[in-house]
């Protein structure tokens, strides 16, 4: 089990901090489809007097926009005919914490609910994960998860990057810094802030290290129950951007910021424990191979069986699929192996720490959706006792006769739209909603003339 959470606030502690003047602002935050935090900054006294019981209103369109906050058609729950009314962001006070990099600020994550019925909005990412966690609990399984997140730190500020049209960006450093301590030292004042401030904000960091490109870094967040772990990952991505901004720099969690750069991953670790959280049900001292229990083998079989049809939930935009390239540290084939980084699924850990590492998600993944997809696939494998395919030995990039990760967002969208398990696990409304999201993104991309096309066709075409 994970250690007791630190850095969280109780409501009584928040009241004390507000009374003393240490906290004057409470952020009510909601995660949108793209994995971004949306919400309101509330005067702390007003929050305690009015918001904590009811929550804050937000326009329904926040769960039906594209990346540019446009309001495309095709969404059943929010459109011009419905008048784009309000839902409520209901605080989940188990997530209340100080935000130490912002002066006098606390934050609480919220669930999207219908004001009249109080019911969770089914298409909200946090709701989707909640439902899969509930399914696991009903089977006596407690999903424990963790994220490893990679990102690029740039010398340019966000404003400078925008003004340059995102061309000629300057990463911190100028050579591959994988495990390089000296290269990491160049930005250690910022990385140290990230490690310490995140931990103080109840997002416990295990370590940070250089990754396989100039300016690329990885940070591991300590494991926890699935919902808490996804909360941590969403807050981490938001918070790192804020810390970088406050230091005059920029970071990006794009899966592939440039075609010559190594892609950024979000490796997600999963194990199922007993209801009390005392025993890892993936570990069997007599299990073969690798001490894997029957539960673990069936769960892994489910993850492999549904990797393609659930790809949309772990790789949700056009750029996501440019990360999947041979010999790039990102997987292309849906196979598994013990401590084999060329495989889509890597078995790591020993004893009570035995777990599955999913290497398919990129850093751009919405943690709630990616976690929900993994749990749903694993539960299907367990419930149907799916047989585990043979372990892949050697270089998985050259594997033949195996399932491949979708090559494009369009391919992933069609797989998700026709997935029987997606409709069974998430419901038709969720499938239609996120299929529409993906099609809108793809159609927008297809209509744009890119620099690549100009360089290739302007003179020679």
358 strand-pairing partners: 268, 345
Question: Residue 206 domain-assigned?
Answer: no
Which CATH number goes with the domain that contains 52?
A: 3.10.20.70
Per residue in 173-203, pLDDT (tens digit) is 888 888 999 988 999 999 999 999 999 999 9
256: tokens are 């592939």
> What stretches of 306-408 show up as alpha helix (H) in DSSP?
311-314, 367-383
**Cα–Cα distance measured from residue 203 to residue 223, given in angstroms and rounded to the nearest whole number:** 10
> Are residues 144 and 45 part of one domain?
no
> Are residues 416 and 299 part of one domain?
yes
> Are residues 431 and 382 part of one domain?
yes
> Are residues 17 and 143 part of one domain?
no
> Are residues 139 and 113 part of one domain?
no
Nearest to 312 by CA among 256, 235, 233, 372: 372
Question: Residue 123 domain-assigned?
Answer: no
pTM of the model: 0.97
Question: Residue 426 domain-assigned?
Answer: yes
Question: Residue 425 domain-assigned?
Answer: yes
> Are residues 403 and 282 part of one domain?
yes
Give me the pLDDT at residue 7, please.
82
Residue 238: enclosing H or E segment and its boundaries?
helix 226-246
> Are residues 139 and 58 part of one domain?
no
> Are residues 105 and 17 part of one domain?
yes
* Residue 375: CB atoms within 10 Å: 26
Total domains in the chain come to: 2
* Residue 10: CB atoms within 10 Å: 11
Question: Residue 406 domain-assigned?
Answer: yes
> Are residues 140 and 26 part of one domain?
no
> Are residues 428 and 304 part of one domain?
yes
Computed over every residue of the chain, the mean pLDDT equals 96
Contact 102, 90 (CB under 8 A): no
Contact 88, 115 (CB under 8 A): yes
Question: Residue 461 domain-assigned?
Answer: no
Nearest to 38 by CA among 145, 156, 126: 126
Per residue in 405-459, pLDDT (tens digit) is 999 999 999 999 999 999 999 999 999 999 999 999 999 999 999 999 999 999 9
- Could you tell me the pLDDT band of residue 5, with boundaries at 50, 70 and 90? very low
> Are residues 42 and 145 part of one domain?
no
Question: Residue 191 domain-assigned?
Answer: no
Per residue in 132-144, pLDDT (tens digit) is 999 999 999 999 9
Per residue in 269-320, pLDDT (tens digit) is 999 999 999 999 999 999 999 999 999 999 999 999 999 999 999 999 999 9
Question: Residue 245 domain-assigned?
Answer: no
Which CATH number goes with the domain that contains 334?
A: 3.30.590.10
> Are residues 374 and 295 part of one domain?
yes
106: containing domain: 11-117
């Amino acid at each position: 089990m994970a250690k007791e959470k630190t850095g969280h606030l109780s409501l009584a502690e928040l009241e004390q901090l507000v009374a003393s003047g240490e906290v004057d602002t409470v952020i009510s935050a909601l995660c949108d489809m793209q994995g971004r935090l949306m919400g309101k900054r509330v005067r702390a006294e007003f929050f305690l007097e009015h918001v904590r019981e009811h929550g804050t209103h937000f326009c329904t369109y926040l769960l039906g926009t594209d990346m540019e906050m446009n309001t495309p058609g095709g969404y059943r729950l929010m459109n011009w005919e419905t008048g784009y009314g309000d839902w409520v962001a209901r605080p989940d006070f188990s997530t209340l914490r100080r935000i130490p990099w912002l002066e006098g600020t606390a934050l609480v994550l919220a669930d999207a609910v219908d004001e009249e019925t109080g019911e969770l909005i089914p298409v909200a990412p946090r709701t989707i994960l909640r439902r899969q966690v509930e399914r696991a609990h009903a089977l006596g399984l407690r999903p424990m998860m963790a994220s490893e997140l990679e990102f690029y730190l740039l010398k340019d500020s966000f404003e400078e990057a925008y003004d340059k049209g995102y061309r000629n960006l300057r990463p911190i450093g100028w050579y591959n810094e994988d495990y390089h301590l000296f290269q990491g030292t160049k930005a250690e004042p910022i990385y140290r802030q990230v490690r310490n401030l995140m931990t103080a904000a109840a997002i416990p960091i295990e370590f940070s290290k250089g990754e396989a490109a100039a300016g690329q870094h990885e940070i591991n967040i300590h494991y926890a129950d699935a919902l808490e772990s996804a909360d941590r990952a969403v807050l981490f991505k938001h918070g790192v951007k804020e810390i970088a901004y406050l230091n005059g720099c920029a970071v990006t969690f794009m899966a592939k910021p440039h075609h010559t750069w190594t892609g950024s991953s979000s490796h997600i670790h999963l194990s199922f424990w007993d209801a009390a959280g005392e025993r890892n049900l993936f570990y069997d001292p007599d299990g073969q191979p690798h001490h894997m229990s029957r539960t673990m083998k069936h769960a892994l079989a489910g993850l492999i069986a549904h990797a393609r049809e659930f790809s949309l939930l772990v790789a949700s935009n056009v750029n996501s699929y440019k990360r999947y390239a041979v010999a790039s540290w990102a997987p292309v084939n849906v196979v598994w192996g013990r401590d084999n980084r060329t495989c889509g699924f890597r078995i790591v850990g020993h004893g009570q720490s035995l777990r599955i590492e999913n290497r398919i998600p990129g850093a751009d993944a919405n943690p709630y959706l990616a976690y929900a997809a993994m749990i749903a696939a694993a539960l299907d494998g367990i419930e149907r006792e799916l047989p585990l395919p043979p372990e892949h030995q050697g270089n998985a990039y050259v594997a033949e006769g195996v399932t491949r990760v979708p090559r494009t967002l369009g391919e992933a969208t069609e797989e998700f739209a026709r997935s029987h398990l997606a409709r069974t696990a998430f419901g038709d409304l969720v499938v239609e909603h996120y299929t529409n999201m993906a099609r809108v993104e793809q159609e927008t991309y297809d209509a744009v003339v890119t620099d690549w096309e100009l360089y290739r066709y302007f003179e020679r075409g």
